[in-house]
Amino acid sequence: MRRKASTRENLSRLTTEQPNRASADLDLKSALEVVRVINAEDAKVVEAVGRALPQIARAVGLIANALRRGGRLIYVGAGTSGRIAALDAAECPPTFNVDPRTVQFVMAGGPAALASAVEADEDSRELGKREMAKRKPGRNDVIVGIAASGRTPFTIAAIEYARSKGAHTISVTCNRNTPLQKAAHLAIVTEVGPEVISGSTRMKAGTAQKMMLNMLSSGAMTRLGYVYGNLMVNVTPRNSKLAARGVSILQQAAGVREELAQQALRAAGNSVPVGLVMLQAQVDRREAERALKLAGGHVRRAIAAARSL
């Protein structure tokens, strides 16, 4: 009983658990009034994330440096946080053509928790440590712990273990001065305030988390040169939609007609980065591939290198 009372007391102190005056009597409002309230509260998320941009930028730099050295980005979370982490990790290979092992997720309850709630596991420090230990975190890795409350035992233990093994650790929370924040090297805090439905952190807190993870992965991949201008040039055309996108990217990036872009993509072995280097530097496939290898996959630098070959 004491433990349950203590837990309630601790939760009541969190801003994400406070009642929201703006959504009082939500159940008495019309559908339009309900969505207006939600929309107005969602607008506050952008401001909260904006205040954390310096910390997010530092995290992007850490992640890019780690991946450049052959390390990994590993997200860890439970419930909504874990599902958002899984989504971002899953989207990186098709968007940036990185190895699936490069961006990973660890979730309380494992993959089964993606489709159904496994709440009990998030309270286990032992499980958090054990699941992170399976990934063998090291000095070249960045581990990002995500929890709106900043109090999830599974996530805290995973971050503590990773840090003890020399990995760089980052916390992503929506409350300040939490155990997760204190466990990590770098803290990113977005104080989104009380939820429209009290305590439902899948709402504003979840939106903030999605925005931040978008920034972390997309920012790091951009720094690595997997984006040219604002085009995702590392995309691999594995279906008709992506093939058309690859041709469109070559057209925009190199300023050529569709027919020439199609020819370049075929000559490049269906590789958009190789095709772009070929077009921009006026080199053959072998030289383009060599330039990309020398540049570590950084497309803009590869173009410059190919031009000087």
Active site residues: 91, 122
Phi and psi at residue 53, to the nearest 5°: -55, -40
Q: What sign has the CA pseudo-torsion 169, 206, 46, 7?
A: negative
Q: Which helix (H) or strand (E) holds 273?
A: helix 272-281
For the chain, what percentages of helix, strand and coil (3-state, to nearest 5) are there?
A: 60, 10, 30
Contact call for residues 128 and 76 (beta carbons, < 8 A): yes
What's the number of CA atoms in the CB half-sphere (13 Å) around residue 43?
5
Provide the token pair at 295: 């540049």
Residue 296 sits at the vertex; the CA angle it makes with 187 and 54, to the nearest 5 degrees, is 20
Q: What is the CA radius of gyration of the chain?
A: 22
DSSP string, 59-123: HHHHHHHHHHTT--EEEEE-HHHHHHHHHHHHHHHHHH---TTTEEEEETTGGGGGTS--GGGGG
Q: 160 vs 74, 130, 184, 244, 274, CA distance in Å?
A: 14, 12, 7, 45, 41
| Cα gap 264→277, rounded to integer Å | 10
**DSSP for residue 26:** G
Residue 5 CB-density burial (10 A; 0-12 exposed, 13-18 middle, 19+ buried): exposed
Query: Which is nearest to 141 in space by CA: 76, 223, 195?
Result: 76
